[in-house]
Structure 1
Amino acid sequence: MPEQPDDVPPELYPELVASGGLGEALAREAERRGRRTGPPEPVEGYGPTAAVCWAQGETRFAVYATNAAVREFRIQISGDSGRHWAAFGSTDDLAVVEAILHAVCQGASIGQLRSAWALLAANPLEAAPPGRVVATAWRLTLERSPTIRLGNAELAEALYAQPALRVFFPFPSHGEFSLLSSTADPFYEEVPRAVPNGGGLWNVVLRWSRWSPHVPTRVLGSRLDAREAAALIAANVPAGSGPAVEGGWPEPPPLGAPVTGDPDG
C-alpha cells in the first residue's frame, strides 16, 4: 500500500491536531469517562495522526481519519479469529469511537458490537453514510484498502483524475475496470470500460447492456495507456448519465432482455 500522508485538516479534526493524533485523542476521551484505552499500535502505511489500532486477543480494532472532505472516523474490526475484517463503521463522533473501542477491549463479540451499534455493518460500503457510497468506494480504491476489490492502481488513479468519471461506482473485476451507474445488484453499466490488452495497455470497450440491447459491444480504442484510456472513457460518457444511484438500478430492463446480477451480462 502506498504511503499515506499523516496530516489531517485541522478544521475537521481539531482534537487530533491539538492532542497529537488519534491515539492521544481517544485516550483523553476514555479518561474523561474514567476509562483507559491502552497503548495503540501503528497502522502500516499511515502515521499516528491519521490511523491507529488496538489488539484484544485475536480481535483487532482500527480507526482512520483519512477523509479530507468531511469529518469521518472510519472503523474496522476484525473477527474473533483475527483473520478477516468483520465489522465496519463510520461516525463523526469521537466519543462513539471510544465507546466501541472500550467494548472491544472488554471482549465484546462482533455480534454484540453490531447489535449495540447500528452504524456497524458487514462491509465498508454498507457502512458508508447515505450519499457517500461512491466517494467511499473511490477513497478505499485509491488508498489500496484490502477491504474491497481492487483493480489496477495506475488506471484507478487515471480514472479518478477525470472529474466526469468520479460520480460512477468503481467496479474492477477479472482484470477489467467498469464504472457503474448503481452501487449494488442490479448493476447498470452505461459507461465504456477498460479491458487489459497486455503490457500495461488497455482497450476501451462499450459493452452490450440488457438496458440498451440495441447498442452492440464495440471497441472504441486499443492499446492505450492508463491516462489515454481514462480520457477516452470520459469523452464517451453518454449525455445525462450519472451520478450513480445508491443501491440497485431502479428501472427494469426492456421486456425480453436477459436479467443477471453480473455487470458483464
Structure 2
Amino acid sequence: MPERSIEVPPELYPELAVPGGLGEALAREAVRRGRGRGAEPLDPVERYDPAVAACCARGEARFAVFATNADEREFRIEISADSGWLWGAFGSTDDLAVVDAILHAWREGASIEQLRRDWTLLAASPLEAAPPGRVVSTAWRLTLERSPVIRLGDAELAEALYAQPALRVFFPFPSHGEFSLLSSTADPFYEEVPRAVPTECGRWDVVLLRSPWSPHIPSRVLGSRLGAREAAALIAANIPPGSGPAIEGGWPQPPPQRQPQPSRPQ
C-alpha cells in the first residue's frame, strides 16, 4: 500500500522540521533529558511519512506515535500488548516530553497496566483517549488513515463522505459493509442521517431508516446504485434540519414510549 501523504503545519510541530522527522525529534528529546538510549533510532511506520510517524518494537509489542493532526498540535500514542494484540493503550498529548517519558518507561519494561496507572491520559481505545471535543475528528482521521485500531468501511466511500463538509460533524460508523453517520459517539447511538448500503454491483443505495425517535417517518430508499461521490452528495442533501453535530457519548434522550393500544372487546 502506498505511503499516505500528510501535510502538517510546521508552526504546530516545529520539532519535526528537521531530517528524520518525528523519530529524530524523539531521539533528541531523549538525549536532552539524559537518557542514554535516546540514541537508538525509531523505525518508520508502514504507509506513513517518517516526518509524522515513528515506532519501535519490544518483542511482539510495539510503541507508535503519530503527528497527523493538521488542525491542532497532537502526538497520538498507540501501544500494543506483549502478545501483539493491537488494543493495549492509547493516548494523546501536545507535549513531546510526555511522549518521551512514556516511551522510556515502556522501553524499560513497564506493562500496559503500569503505564495506564502512571499516565491517566492513556486509555483502552483510541476514541477513549481522544481529548474532549475531538472524538469525532479523531474517528474521521483514523478512518481516512486506514488505521487498524478502528472499524474501517469502504475507503472510497469514506473519502467521499468526508469531502462533504456538512457530514464531517457526524460520527463515522461503518458496520457489515454499510456506512452510517451517527449523532452520538457511543451507545445508545442515534442515527438521523441517511446511511449508505452496498449493492451487489459494487455501488451504493442511500437509505433513510425508520428511527425509534421518529417512528412516524417510514424507512425509504432515497437513491439506488450510486457511486461513492453521488451517494455522499445525496446523504449531505438529506440531513434533517437541526441535526448534528454529534454529541460525545451516548444519546441522552430515551426513545419515546409507545402508547398502549386499547384492547379490543372480546
TM interval, shorter chain, is over 0.9
TM-score (normalised: structure 2): 0.93
The answer to whether the 8 A contact 1:168-1:243 is kept is yes
Query: Structure 2: which 5+ residue stretches go unaligned?
Result: 260-266
1:216 alignment partner in structure 2:
218
**1:66 Cα deviation from its structure 2 partner:** 0.8
Name the amino acid aligned to 2:21.
G
The answer to whether the 8 A contact 2:207-2:222 is kept is yes
Name the amino acid aligned to 2:89.
A
1:22 alignment partner in structure 2:
22
Question: Does residue 43 of structure 2 align to residue 41 of structure 1?
Answer: yes
* Structure 1 runs of 4+ with >3 Å offset: none
**1:42 Cα deviation from its structure 2 partner:** 1.4
**1:6 Cα deviation from its structure 2 partner:** 5.6
Moved more, 15-24 or 173-182: 15-24
Q: 1:63 aligns with which of 53, 62, 65?
A: 65
Name the amino acid aligned to 2:144.
L
**1:22 Cα deviation from its structure 2 partner:** 1.0
Deviations 1:175-232 (A, max 9, x none): 1000000000000000000001122211100001111111111111111111111111
**How far apart are the structure 1 equivalents of 2:19 and 2:8?**
13
**How far apart are the structure 1 equivalents of 2:77 and 2:2?**
20
**1:7 Cα deviation from its structure 2 partner:** 4.6
Name the amino acid aligned to 1:9.
P
2:258 alignment partner in structure 1:
256
Question: Does residue 147 of structure 2 align to residue 159 of structure 1?
Answer: no
Deviations 1:68-113 (A, max 9, x none): 1111101000101123231111100000000000001000000000
The answer to whether the 8 A contact 1:177-1:193 is kept is yes
Q: Provide the alpha-carbon RMSD of the alignment.
A: 1.3
1:32 alignment partner in structure 2:
32
The answer to whether the 8 A contact 1:40-1:54 is kept is yes
**How far apart are the structure 1 equivalents of 2:239 and 2:49?**
38
Deviations 1:217-259 (A, max 9, x none): 11111111111111111110000000000000011110139xx
Q: Between Structure 1 and Structure 2, how many residues are aligned?
A: 257
Moved more, 52-61 or 3-12: 3-12
Q: 1:124 aligns with which of 104, 126, 131?
A: 126
Deviations 1:136-162 (A, max 9, x none): 000111111110000011111111111
Q: Which has the larger radius of gyration?
A: 2
**How far apart are the structure 1 equivalents of 2:92 and 2:115?**
14
Name the amino acid aligned to 2:13.
Y
SS at match of 1:114: helix
**1:46 Cα deviation from its structure 2 partner:** 1.1
Sequence identity (%)? 77
Question: Does residue 184 of structure 2 align to residue 182 of structure 1?
Answer: yes
**How far apart are the structure 2 equivalents of 1:102 and 1:24?**
15
